[in-house]
Amino acid sequence: MKNLINKWYRNHSLVFKILLFILTTFFIVYLFPKTGKFRFSFEKGKPWQSETLYAPFDFSLKKTEQDLEKERRELRLTADVLINFKPEIETLVLNNFQDILKSQDDTSDSLQEYQAIGTSVIKKLYRFPVLDEKYTCNQNQIAVLITDNQMVKKLRCVDLRSILEVDSFIDQQLIKVDNTIMKSRLKSLIISQILPNAIVNEELIKFRTEAKVKQLSSEYGLIKKGQLIITKDQVVNVEKLKILNSLR
């Protein structure tokens, strides 16, 4: 007991200093007003009740969650449509069409006419990629054709055709053929050889789009120190609300 009392007398100065430090820290952290606390109250659509406010320091303007969600949605709706494109399909279809014609029991003149008309229709069809299925595009979307992992061409997405549209396309192209039998036979021969030469790469579209979404900035501008923010009695509109919330 005596030793304990002696230790206290020898170290009481140090203990006192430690207690004083703890109490001082407590008062500074919890009782003193916090630096930079936003002391103004405001409400959207209501007049600014305080004095004219100037930016006390430089600060960034922050987008609202609604603004960010709108940008994300816009990115997804307007993303480039990435197409795996096989240009060699057109040559394959033309060759197959020629071969099937040669196997038909036709006169030389008739064969040449079939070849001329059929070849013309097939080439017109493949001026734009033929998708393996219907794909719905937005008006401003761009289709990007990719062959061997390289971009080869860009075009309007709405110009893409699907294999389901081939029938009506051929009808339009053969509308000037007066011979009903020839028209029907040509259509049958052409359709039997048509193959899609484009496939939408949904996985790659999603990957690239989501990468862009992650890169969206949460800020959209900068207010400089001393810049006027709002004057007394000025209505707090949408833009002023964004600025005040960013400052707060």
- Tell whether the model's pLDDT for residue 248 goes beyond 90: no
Q: Tokens 């038909």 label which residue? A: 104
Reading the block at residue 155, the tokens are: 């075009």
Q: How confident is the model at residue 241 (pLDDT cuts 50, 70, 90)?
A: confident
Extended strands (E) in the chain? 53-54, 59-62, 81-85, 130-131, 142-147, 150-156, 161-162, 198-200, 219-223, 228-230
Q: How confident is the model at residue 30 (pLDDT cuts 50, 70, 90)?
A: low
- Tell whether the model's pLDDT for residue 247 goes beyond 90: no
Identify the pLDDT of residue 42.
83
Q: Is the distance from CB of 93 to CB of 195 less than 8 angstroms? A: yes
Phi/psi for 191 (5° steps) reads: -60, -35
Identify the pLDDT of residue 101.
87
Give the pTM. 0.68
Q: How confident is the model at residue 171 (pLDDT cuts 50, 70, 90)?
A: very high
Q: Could you read off the pLDDT of 178-236 as tens digits, one per residue?
A: 899 889 999 999 999 999 999 999 999 999 999 999 999 998 889 899 999 899 889 98
Q: Is the distance from CB of 173 to CB of 124 less than 8 angstroms? A: yes
Q: Could you read off the pLDDT of 84-129 as tens digits, one per residue?
A: 999 999 999 999 999 998 887 666 668 888 899 999 999 999 999 9
Give the mean pLDDT of the chain. Answer: 86
Identify the pLDDT of residue 33.
46
Identify the pLDDT of residue 174.
94
- Tell whether the model's pLDDT for residue 8 goes beyond 50: no
User: Average of pLDDT values for 165-173?
Assistant: 95
DSSP class of residue 47 equals: B
User: Average of pLDDT values for 20-30?
Assistant: 60
Identify the pLDDT of residue 38.
63
Other CB atoms within 10 A of residue 118 CB: 24
Q: Cα(213)–Cα(245) distance, rounded to whole angstroms?
A: 24
